[in-house]
Structure 1
């Protein structure tokens, strides 16, 4: 059920899989809604690496029991884009793409004003489903702003024949190192810990370990970047400072939610370093009445806690709560 003006029962911020899940549940409950997405449909997923394979199997990525048919048990990015796009278009999901939310102001528990560069909306409830992929964890080292440095990785072809340093040992870093190596790149990994991360995809971890052991991919464990220069990178290692010739640097050290955006809305964050937003785990409502969280945003800096497969349920929890409030 939709409205012809700028008033909605629900504004959903974020047009990723969880935002779409919230829209589907709102439609089933007969609640008027609008998704506001600052980029394209499933924007974060669109910016994942070209050849990315999901950790989850396809049925765990499904929304609203709509089958996700994949050529392999672990779907790839292209298949996921097709799946979520079909859901959005076939269900005529009410979404405004490329419309960034600038602010959310709470008038009272039943009235929130949502402003974008295009419009101002009034809503009874706000659902924040913005994920975490937009803000990298910057190292703060000299040279991090050089053109040869990127905090995102897309396609390995770009780095063919080039000396590329990959910083990090998570899934994104390991995937990048292996793909670039197999496209003819000269890859060196710089890893803060003494080994490759244990949460790396179980079918990939043996591959990277074997490539390191045979010398195909070089690695400096217990090391960190000290300075990035035009044609070199200085790193601190357990054996001392080391300077490496270099063409490109991929700083794949993770990402974090937009905490300022949450704080500006009045949402409290834990002060224990994890910055976990305050919310009711049964209703997903934050300390600000009428503002809810859904998806990975709930985990603060612990971005590995929530995924599509275990946060799809947030949509149903929120809508059931909103529908029960109407009956009171």
Structure 2
């Protein structure tokens, strides 16, 4: 007979890993499915990124995270989470994308890019980093436009327009400028975002005030062409020379996947998925949410340090409903 898992965890990021650890400790038969490498989203963060949180706040299952500085860098986080997976021999399938999940009676049937599975419960811990918020303007599909930023060396000596005022946009603007790019910031509001890292915000403000980085406030990008971009600045259109556009305007969860699963989503702009905050169970019995996906479009609401507790909440709820489990059903 086909094996039925107690839990299938979709997403192998920090919170998915935390759920796997908690499931293993409690004797549940689990499987983590990750469409890319271990902590795929973190892997695609900028090369030089430094976390806002200190290392102890990024720890899961009380496993110490030692970093050179109080706030770790991306590569240190990759090392930390990878070692957790390998040292604890977590049951994780990498580079295996989940394509569909359907509930049949009391079980979930999961179809991935490589196999099919059956499970009594599903934990969805897929984050939000895979789908960028598009500008929806002419020229956005040009090859010089990207919604992800990696390494500033690539942009040395180039005219770079950075769209956004959050941490990712400000980090990119400063790094590219320091590597010799001519940087223009395009910011929708009237100031640099208040949530920008407190040690970075004064830096970008000083660079703008001294004229090293040009910034247009209360502005938006309206057109991208091969050698130029056009900016709407308080109703006036300005065209400037341009080689590359970094449209770092944020990301969103895969709402279509949530809807396919039957999860109710609020009709307002927040698009909050429905779940019980005590158990993290959605309106679909046996389907749980963990991590930043719980925040809908409020992607700043949940992050590693305040959502790692979801793992214990979910596993305890599952145990309370299934005090006796077995690997083979």
Residue 119 in 1 paired to residue 115 in 2? yes
Cα distance in structure 1, aligned partners of 2:280 and 2:235:
49
Following superposition, the deviation at residue 181 of structure 1 comes to 0.3
Count of aligned positions? 324
State the partner residue of 1:146: 142
Q: Which residue of 2 aligns with 1:183?
A: 179
SS, match of residue 148 in structure 2 = coil
Compute the displacement of 1:190 (Å). 0.4
Structure 2 residue 251 is matched with structure 1 residue 255: yes
Question: For 1:247-298, what per-residue CA distance to the aligned partner results, in whole angstroms no more than 9, with x for missing partners?
Answer: 0000000000000000000000011121110001100000000100000000
Gaps of 5+ in 1: none
Candidates 36, 40, 44, aligned match of 1:43: 40
**Length-normalised TM-score, structure 2:** 0.97
Aligned to 1:192: 188
Q: Are residues 175 and 128 of structure 1, via their aligned partners in 2, closer, same or farther at CA, if it must alter by over 3 Å?
A: same
List per-residue Cα deviations over 1:217-238 (Å, max 9, x = no partner).
0000000011000000011002
**1:13 aligned to which of 10, 15, 19:** 10
**3-state DSSP of counterpart to 2:149:** coil
Question: Could you tell me which residue of structure 2 aligns to residue 166 of structure 1?
Answer: 162
User: What is the root-mean-square deviation of aligned Cα atoms in Å?
Assistant: 1.1
Aligned to 2:327: none
Q: Which ranges in structure 2 are unaligned for 5 or more consecutive residues?
A: 325-329
4+ runs of 1 displaced by more than 4 Å?
Answer: none
Please say if residues 102 and 115 of structure 1, whose CA atoms lie closer than 8 Å, have aligned partners that are also in contact. Answer: yes
| Correspondences of 1:299-310 after superposition (within 5 Å) | 299-310=295-306
1:66 aligned residue: 63
Is 1:128 the counterpart of 2:121? The answer is no
Which residue of the partner structure matches residue 236 of structure 1? 232
The answer on 1:207 being equivalent to 2:203 is: yes
Secondary structure, counterpart of 1:174 in structure 2: helix
Query: How far 1:19 moved relative to its partner?
Result: 0.2
Helix, strand or coil: the match of 1:272?
Answer: coil
Does the CA-based 8 Å contact 1:6-1:120 persist in structure 2? no
TM-score, length of structure 1 as denominator length: 0.97
Matched, 1:78 2:39: no
CA displacement, residues 126-182 of structure 1 (integer Å, 9 cap, x when unaligned): 000000000000010000000000000000000000000000000000000000000
Report the Cα offset of residue 125 of structure 1.
0.2
Q: Aligned equivalents of 1:180 and 1:134: distance in 2?
A: 23
Residue aligned with 2:177, SS: helix
Is 1:321 equivalent to 2:314 in the alignment? no
In the alignment, is residue 31 of structure 1 matched against residue 35 of structure 2?
no
Per-residue deviation at 1:7?
2.1
Displacement of 1:239: 6.0
Partner of 1:94: 91
Given candidates 152, 155, 163, the residue that maps to 1:156 is: 152
The DSSP-based 3-state class of the residue aligned with 1:124 is: strand
Partner SS state of residue 262, structure 2? coil
Q: How far apart are the structure 1 equivalents of 2:2 and 2:86?
A: 22
